[in-house]
Amino acid sequence: MKPGAPDVYEEMVADRRYAGHGVRELRIVRTGSVQDRPRDEVEIAMAVGVLAGGSPVLSSRWDKNPLTLGHYELPRLVRLVEIGCADASHRILFEGTSEDAYALYGDPVEAALDRIIGGDAYRPGTDCGRCDAVAGCPAVPSVPGLLGIGRSDAHRRSWSVTTGRSYRRCPARAHLEDLLLPRDTAAEDSEAVVRGKAVHAWIESLHRRIPQRPCTPDDVPGPPEEWQYKKWSVTGLQARLGIQMIADHALVCPLRDRPEDAEVHPEETAAAYDPDANVVVLAKTDLLYRKNDRWFVRETKTARVPDEGNLLDQHPQLALAVLLAHTKVLPGNGHCRVELERLTGSGPVVTELDVTAADVVSEAQRVLAEYVTPWHADTRYPAKAGQACADCPFTRWCPDAADGNGG
C-alpha cells in the first residue's frame, strides 16, 4: 500500500466453504465438542452477513495487497454450521435467506468491528508463545536470563507455574497443554480444593466492584451451611470455613485505607520474554494494585492449617512474582512489593517478601530453576503413565495413558 494511503479494512470469514444450487454454507471447525458450546451471537451475525453478501477470495489471505475477489451469484440461502472434531458433533448455527442474514448483521457487529479496529490494548497470554512479534512487543518486556538458562536454540514456548506443575506430574501432560488440545472433564476436585476456588472467586468479585471499596466482614456468601459461587458449591465444614476465610480477608484487604487514586487490577496477567531461553513467561497474579506511588502484587492462598515450611518452595508463583518484580516486569521499577495472604482456619496472615534482598531473589531463582530447567531441556515429554492419568484431561490424546482412564 502507498504511504499515506487510507487504511483499508476487509472482512473475511474462513473455514470449510461449500456452495451450489443457490446455497452457501460455511462449516466452522472446532477442536472440541460443539455440544453445549455457548453461542457467540456476534460471531454468527458477522459470519452470515459476509456469507450472504461477500465474494469468494481468490488471492492468498496473507498477501499484503487488497484481496482479489471472484464473482459468483449471490445465494438465496445461507447456512452456518459448526463441527466438533472431538466427537463428530455438529450444530446448525444459522439457516436462512440472505435478507435474514443481513438483518442479523446489525449494530452489535459494527460495534464489535469498531472495537477490533480501534483496539490498542495488548492482551498478553498463552498466544504470546506462538507470536513472531513478541520480542518487540511493548506489553512483553524482554528480560535476557530471566529463567537462568544459557542461550538455546529451542523453539519458542510459553511457560507458567501451571506448566511447571503439570510437567512435574507428567511431562506429556505439559506438552499436550502446550498444544492447546481440547480437554475432557477432569476428575472431581476434593472438597477443600472446591472451597479454595470458591473463596478465591468470591474475593475477586468483591475487588471488581464498581465503585471500588474495601471488603467488609459482612461481604460473605450464605447461607452458612451451604452456599455456591459460580460453579463451586460447598456444604458443611467447608462452607463455614469458606465464610470465615472471606470475613477474615476483610481484616487484611489491600483496599483498606486506600487513597482516592488507588489502582486495582484483579487477575492481571504479567508477561515477559526471555530471549536466551526463547521462552515467554506468563504469570496470572491474584491482585496487582497501587497505593500512592507504591505497587504491590498479592497472592492469596487458603489452607485450613497453614504449612510453616519455606514459602517460596510451597508457592512457586511467589518465586515467579519475586523475579518479575526484581526484573521490573511488574510495575514499580524493581520495587513492586510481593505479598502472600494466607487465609487459614486460625485467621489471616500477610507476609511481605523483600524483592530487593539478594538472598530472597537467589532463593526464588533456585525454586523456579527446579521447575524450569528439566522442562526446558526436554524434547520428548515422556508420559508418566499411572497415577498421573487419574485426573488428566488429555488421556484421550495420549497413547501411553493408563488403562481405564478413557485412553
What are the residues binding Zn ion (CB under 5 A)?
A: 215, 253
CB-nearer residue toward Zn ion: 215 or 312: 215
SS3 assignment, position 177: helix
CB 149 within 8 A of CB 372: yes
- Within 181-309, strands assigned E span 226-229, 232-235, 263-266, 269-274, 279-284, 287-291, 294-303
Q: How far is the CB of 299 from Zn ion (least distance, A)?
A: 14
Whichever of 209 and 366 has its CB closer to Zn ion, that residue is: 209
The CB-of-307 to Zn ion minimum distance in angstroms stands at 23
In this complex, which beta carbon is closest to Zn ion, that of residue 202 or of residue 295? Answer: 202
For residues 221 and 366, what is the distance between their CA atoms, to the nearest angstrom?
40
Minimum distance, C-beta of residue 85 to Zn ion, in the bound complex (Å): 42
Q: What is the largest CA-CA distance in the chain?
A: 73
Closest CA to 364 of 406, 304, 323: 323
Number of residues assigned to the chain: 407
Q: Which three cell numbers stand for residue 124?
A: 498478553
Q: Which is nearer to Zn ion, 253 or 323 (CB)?
A: 253
Instruction: Return the H-helix or E-strand segment holding 23.
Output: strand 23-30
Structure letter (DSSP) for residue 155: P
In the bound state with Zn ion, the residue whose beta carbon lies nearer, of 215 and 368, is 215
Q: How far is the CB of 256 from Zn ion (least distance, A)?
A: 8
Tell me how far, at minimum, the Cβ of 219 lies from Zn ion, in Å: 8
Is 273 strand, coil or helix?
strand
Residue placing its CB nearer to Zn ion in the complex, 142 or 212: 212
Shortest separation between residue 269's beta carbon and Zn ion, angstroms: 20
* C-alpha closest to that of 269 among 342, 330, 311, 323: 330
Number of other CB atoms surrounding residue 226 within 10 Å:
14
Full 3-state SS string of 289-346: EEECCEEEEEEEEEECCCCCCCHHHHCHHHHHHHHHHHCCCCCCCCCCEEEEEEEECC
DSSP assignment of 130-153: G-TTGGG-TTS-B-TTTT------
Between 91 and 265, whose beta carbon lies closer to Zn ion?
A: 265
CB of 214 to Zn ion, least distance (A): 6
Cβ 218 to Zn ion, closest distance in Å?
A: 13
Nearest to 315 by CA among 330, 302, 334, 296: 302
| Phi and psi at residue 121, to the nearest 5° | -90, 140
- Residue nearer to Zn ion on the CB measure, 172 or 253: 253
CB 355 within 8 A of CB 307: no
Cell triple for residue 386? 499411572
The residue among 26 and 253 lying less far from Zn ion, judged by its C-beta, is: 253
We find the least distance from the C-beta atom of residue 230 to Zn ion, in angstroms, to be 18
Q: Which is nearer to Zn ion, 39 or 208 (CB)?
A: 208
Residue 146: all three cell numbers together: 530471566
Q: To the nearest whole angstrom, how small is the minimum distance from the Cβ of residue 242 to Zn ion?
A: 15
